[in-house]
Amino acid sequence: MENAYKILTIFIATVWLVNGLFCKILNLVPRHQQIVAEILGREYARPLTIAIGMAEIFMASWILSRITKRLCAIAQIIIVATMNTIEFFAVPDLLLWGKANAIFAFMFISLIYVNEFVLGKKIISNS
């Protein structure tokens, strides 16, 4: 149980790190900057995309730090749900899987929830 929790925690942090560093800061997936441009405006799309990428790297660090881990999980769930809801309605044509991206967002949210509030709770109760 504890190994699964650790592996999932590292996986979740890696998702944030990859999206922040590679997709946004290094701009290896330009679609992310296009999404920001469509939603927040073209003029500041690049610096805003970098700022979002830095926030995602911070999230990965927060996850791995295990500081206020339940608050961290709640923040992730809210951020992913909010971001994907906005994108679903504002720019579905720019999403990798279009409106079906919502399915993957729901799966990621579910993974975060299960990892922290199911597996994490079992680990605490077994301690």
Taking only the tens place, the pLDDT of each residue in 80-100 is 999 999 999 999 999 999 999
Q: How far apart are CA 56 and CA 18, in angstroms?
A: 9
CA atoms of 39 and 32, how far apart (whole Å) = 11
Q: Residue 7: what are its φ and ψ, rounded to 5°?
A: -65, -45
Q: Where residue 1 falls among pLDDT bands split at 50, 70, 90?
A: confident
Separation of alpha carbons 10 and 111, rounded Å: 12
pLDDT at 127 over 70: no
Q: Where are the domains of the chain?
A: 2-126
CB contact at 8 A, 77 and 116: no
